[in-house]
A and B are shown apart, each in its own frame.
Chain A
């Protein structure tokens, strides 16, 4: 375990058992599961200014338009149809449509100057999720995988969860498949495959019979075959523990009062954000929520506005809830996609891929709210060799990763060994100090 306590990260209003209980009461009577109890008890021991402990990634797959979300430029030659609106923080404008998020702006900061070299969805997604450009010889781990690898927990449900994943869900890469995100669909439905198909009695008999098979297979093989090699029985045990765990209730948003469900919006994204909050409350380290279809090559303005309308209540309610429960300081929330969209509007009214100056929103986990990092031009260079050259305070994607790990107290400069013994730094970037 690697934790580097850092006073610049972590909260001033750190979690205490009492405030946790109060928050539970305030937010509609969520009764504490045993794990939440344990968590709040653990939090009591956490020193002030402790590093963040968990991450939520709101993954906007497809490439949200910075100009229609976090970096609007109405009235400029590139602004398009978007209007902007003021927020709780003077001087920070969001695209119109972020009505609820605007009220939470004191908790949210924006990076408006991300740059990358990847303009293809798949490659850019990889770059954004891992902090590295695709390398044909190696698969890098996503943020959640690194966090779970570096920090330990006693939890009966998976510590790394991906809700509504597409084919590029967060994965363990060279750290191993055991660090892949546990994938679930719309939280409206049940968690897949956690209920036995037969009665408890039959299931118990099956597990008992399995033992004979395992003993007979282990004979004449490696000592500690399971721990050293197959992880089969170990995974079986953990899976069985999970199947009967009270903590599974964290996945079940039906446990929430209707008003709380409605606050997140009647959408898969809203439900996923509510589930993400519940999972973090139960002690899960990293939740990725995928909200897709931002790829507006045609009819950009309408496309983006429709997505914003769904994102706004979900994102804002998530921040509000984490804040109410005193979990915002220990939970870093990231919201962004793989790249932005072109300043020019194409003949179909769309915007194309633009990795040369795009935005991301961050909140909690030691990130100060109400700040803006970097700036893009209202009349940017579009010549091939000049793109991105006019971005003020540009930050490569890896800087986001460095910042995230820094906030979590993870020494990101340390080199991990890949399976072939190649040393690889956890993140290559530099911490964005202006966010802290």
Chain B
């Protein structure tokens, strides 16, 4: 058998497998389903518990005060499905499936969001999606050193940690900064090997690692100090001096921090600490290179002796009293969930905190509850601002969006757009439990699409509008075509064949693609176009409806 025929044979086998899965789950997709297993962490009374509900209330109050001061009216709460879509996009990078929507509908009204968040947080897709978002901050998106950097492994390792029930985020970060071993066996060390310097015997570059550590974990940009003194970075405040007064940052602040990575050493045995190595640097206006002793740029009293320099740095960075660490994490998780950081830019938060409502409260809670990411996510999801509508019955202005008096619109990231197209084309949920074939297809399609759509890289939480290549890709590209074209495996064709009437077909398509019911006007238009259509013509009409929904602003944006 030639490799081509083998491939063909394999493709056919895969197709048959997918058919079986799809047909088997079809009826259950279109019709309201029996309740699936209830999420383990589902706790309907959570919001009434003092240790949770009170924090949410305080955050809500801070935002309400802000609106009052600014003279802004706030929108009402969005409906459950809209909030469910936000959460799904933020936590899994895709939209709810029709199957999930049916399950949600079967949950008592007051418990739906608790049920939904619990459901998502126990789903492997959550760990995978958030791991990728965090990896962008930790190691970027670009290829690092050949062979000794394995980004995929790093992301999988992160995902495995995020999926653990009792994950402490501070411990995870300590493993990154202080990790030792081979980049294959100890994937966390890829945090270090991404910064191997080819111009310096393939050793880790303390300058890159120092800059990365401060931005990713402390939400501060002190990279400019690398080359010169002066620390007035876009509103960030200075460091406290010995007398407690603020002072400007100096070049030494940066390099003393970088020096913590000065003994990190890479060899065939992997990353380890080499006590014989020292970090040396020639400061501006100095004639000689000098040995730089490590020291933190602020709160030196939190530094403590550990088994290695990197362990010392890890311990200082994640110290509960080093608030910038928790604050930066809160800000990033907020950005992942909402699509926009609470304090902008995401990694330039003043040392002594931000005036953004909610940030300090969430930060304190995160520290007090053992750096528990899931709790942080639940808190954010439960706030009024997270659940607020993105539209209002008063005139909405950019000021309303800026102050979260309406939910801010953000463009879907490429993976979200691909994930949403793929999920919309299946009535059942495509998750970790889905057949491996569906997942393989999904990953291949996603990678190709993301490349064409334009990966946003590390800088994925900045405000951007749509582009022509994106529109061309969505209108005429392969993914949308294959996912909507007449095919019994695809939702559009299934709806065409199985919906009891035209109105139900339109309603099912809207729920599957836009996670909402159609308006009367929309039903009238699309059901009218379906009326009397049979077989192929009807399938084509459903394909057209899917295309229209997928190409709308509503689909392409988080709202």
List chain B residues, Cβ under 8 A from A238.
Answer: 468, 471
From A182, A222, A419, A421, B468 is in contact (CB under 8 Å) with A182
List chain B residues, Cβ under 8 A from A421.
Answer: 234
Against B, the Cβ 8 Å flags (1 = close, 0 = not) of A326-357 are 00000000000000000000000000010000
How far, in whole Å, are A192 and B481 apart by their CA atoms in the complex? 14
Interface residues of B in 453-482 (CB under 8 A from A): 454, 456-457, 459, 462-473, 475-477, 481
Instruction: Contact check, A177 vs B467: say whether CB atoms are below 8 A apart.
Output: yes
User: Is B257 interfacial (CB-CB < 8 Å)?
Assistant: no
Instruction: Contact check, B393 vs A212: say whether CB atoms are below 8 A apart.
Output: no
User: Is B69 interfacial (CB-CB < 8 Å)?
Assistant: no
Interface residues of A in 93-123 (CB under 8 A from B): 119-120, 122
List chain A residues, Cβ under 8 A from B551.
Answer: 206, 210, 236
Instruction: Contact check, A223 vs B471: say whether CB atoms are below 8 A apart.
Output: no
Instruction: Contact check, A210 vs B552: say whether CB atoms are below 8 A apart.
Output: yes
Q: A177-B464, A230-B553 are in contact. Are A236 and B475 (CB under 8 A)?
A: yes
Instruction: Contact check, A206 vs B544: say whether CB atoms are below 8 A apart.
Output: yes
Instruction: Contact check, A194 vs B465: say whether CB atoms are below 8 A apart.
Output: no
Instruction: Contact check, B481 vs A197: say whether CB atoms are below 8 A apart.
Output: yes
Q: A178-B467, A230-B557, A238-B468 are in contact. Are A213 and B548 (CB under 8 A)?
A: yes
How far, in whole Å, are A212 and B462 apart by their CA atoms in the complex? 29
Q: A119-B198, A202-B540 are in contact. Are A235 and B464 (CB under 8 A)?
A: no
What range describes how many residues of A lie at the interface?
Answer: 35 or more
> Which of A120, A182, A217 has the largest number of chain B CB atoms within 10 A?
A217
From B391, B467, B470, A219 is in contact (CB under 8 Å) with B391
List chain A residues, Cβ under 8 A from B465.
Answer: 176-178, 229-232, 235
User: Is A83 interfacial (CB-CB < 8 Å)?
Assistant: no
How far, in whole Å, are A198 and B469 apart by their CA atoms in the complex? 19
User: Is B173 interfacial (CB-CB < 8 Å)?
Assistant: no
Distance of A165 from chain B, by nearest CB (Å) = 10
Q: A177-B454, A217-B552, A230-B553 are in contact. Are A137 and B223 (CB under 8 A)?
A: yes
How far, in whole Å, are A225 and B552 apart by their CA atoms in the complex? 13
Instruction: Contact check, A214 vs B552: say whether CB atoms are below 8 A apart.
Output: yes
Distance of B6 from chain A, by nearest CB (Å) = 27
Distance of A342 from chain B, by nearest CB (Å) = 12
Against B, the Cβ 8 Å flags (1 = close, 0 = not) of A43-66 are 000000000000000000000000
Instruction: Contact check, B471 vs A419: say whether CB atoms are below 8 A apart.
Output: no
Q: A176-B464, A228-B398, A233-B553 are in contact. Are A220 and B471 (CB under 8 A)?
A: no
User: Is B519 interfacial (CB-CB < 8 Å)?
Assistant: yes
List chain A residues, Cβ under 8 A from B466.
Answer: 230-232, 234-236
User: Is A135 interfacial (CB-CB < 8 Å)?
Assistant: yes
User: Is A216 interfacial (CB-CB < 8 Å)?
Assistant: yes
How far, in whole Å, are A234 and B485 apart by their CA atoms in the complex? 26
List chain B residues, Cβ under 8 A from A183.
Answer: 469
Distance of B350 from chain A, by nearest CB (Å) = 14
Instruction: Contact check, A136 vs B398: say whether CB atoms are below 8 A apart.
Output: no
User: Is A195 interfacial (CB-CB < 8 Å)?
Assistant: yes
User: Is B211 interfacial (CB-CB < 8 Å)?
Assistant: yes
Instruction: Contact check, B552 vs A419: say whether CB atoms are below 8 A apart.
Output: no
From B401, B452, B477, B525, A222 is in contact (CB under 8 Å) with B401
User: Is A422 interfacial (CB-CB < 8 Å)?
Assistant: yes
Instruction: Contact check, A214 vs B345: say whether CB atoms are below 8 A apart.
Output: no
Q: A180-B454, A213-B554, A239-B472 are in contact. Are A206 and B548 (CB under 8 A)?
A: yes
From B470, B476, B522, A197 is in contact (CB under 8 Å) with B476
User: Is A259 interfacial (CB-CB < 8 Å)?
Assistant: no
User: Is B396 interfacial (CB-CB < 8 Å)?
Assistant: yes
List chain B residues, Cβ under 8 A from A221.
Answer: 390-391, 396, 406, 409
User: Is B215 interfacial (CB-CB < 8 Å)?
Assistant: yes
Chain A residue nearest to B465 in the complex (CB): A231
Interface residues of B in 94-115 (CB under 8 A from A): none
Interface residues of A in 228-254 (CB under 8 A from B): 228-236, 238-240, 242-243
Instruction: Contact check, A235 vs B211: say whether CB atoms are below 8 A apart.
Output: no
> Which of B457, B463, B468, B549 has the largest number of chain A CB atoms within 10 A?
B468
How far, in whole Å, are A183 and B473 apart by their CA atoms in the complex? 12
Q: A122-B142, A177-B464, A239-B475 are in contact. Are A222 and B398 (CB under 8 A)?
A: yes
User: Is A196 interfacial (CB-CB < 8 Å)?
Assistant: yes
Interface residues of A in 153-182 (CB under 8 A from B): 158, 167, 176-178, 180, 182
List chain B residues, Cβ under 8 A from A232.
Answer: 465-466, 471, 553, 556-557
Instruction: Contact check, B476 vs A195: say whether CB atoms are below 8 A apart.
Output: yes
User: Is B154 interfacial (CB-CB < 8 Å)?
Assistant: no
From A176, A198, A220, A420, B396 is in contact (CB under 8 Å) with A220
User: Is B221 interfacial (CB-CB < 8 Å)?
Assistant: yes
> Which of A177, A182, A210, A216 has the largest number of chain B CB atoms within 10 A?
A177
User: Is A139 interfacial (CB-CB < 8 Å)?
Assistant: yes
User: Is A209 interfacial (CB-CB < 8 Å)?
Assistant: yes
User: Is B499 interfacial (CB-CB < 8 Å)?
Assistant: no
Instruction: Contact check, B215 vs A419: say whether CB atoms are below 8 A apart.
Output: no
Instruction: Contact check, A220 vs B391: say whether CB atoms are below 8 A apart.
Output: yes
Instruction: Contact check, A217 vs B467: say whether CB atoms are below 8 A apart.
Output: no
How far, in whole Å, are A239 and B466 apart by their CA atoms in the complex? 11
List chain B residues, Cβ under 8 A from A192.
Answer: 452, 472, 477
Chain A residue nearest to B470 in the complex (CB): A235
User: Is A386 interfacial (CB-CB < 8 Å)?
Assistant: no
Chain A residue nearest to B224 in the complex (CB): A137
Q: A177-B467, A182-B468, A202-B540 are in contact. Are A137 and B476 (CB under 8 A)?
A: no
Chain A residue nearest to B525 in the complex (CB): A212
How far, in whole Å, are A420 and B467 apart by their CA atoms in the complex? 21
Instruction: Contact check, B345 vs A420: say whether CB atoms are below 8 A apart.
Output: yes
Q: A137-B345, A222-B397 are in contact. Are A229 and B548 (CB under 8 A)?
A: no
Instruction: Contact check, B547 vs A206: say whether CB atoms are below 8 A apart.
Output: yes
**Interface residues, chain B, CB within 8 Å of chain A?**
142-143, 197-199, 211-212, 215, 221, 223, 234, 344-345, 347-348, 390-393, 395-398, 401, 406, 409, 411, 452, 454, 456-457, 459, 462-473, 475-477, 481, 485, 519, 521-522, 525-526, 529, 540, 544-545, 547-549, 551-554, 556-557
11 A-B pairs (CB sep. < 8 Å): A194-B476, A210-B551, A212-B525, A217-B552, A221-B396, A221-B406, A221-B409, A230-B409, A234-B466, A238-B468, A242-B472
Besides the contacts A180-B454, A210-B552, what 7 more A-B pairs have beta carbons closer than 8 Å?
A: A137-B347, A182-B469, A193-B476, A213-B548, A217-B553, A231-B465, A353-B199
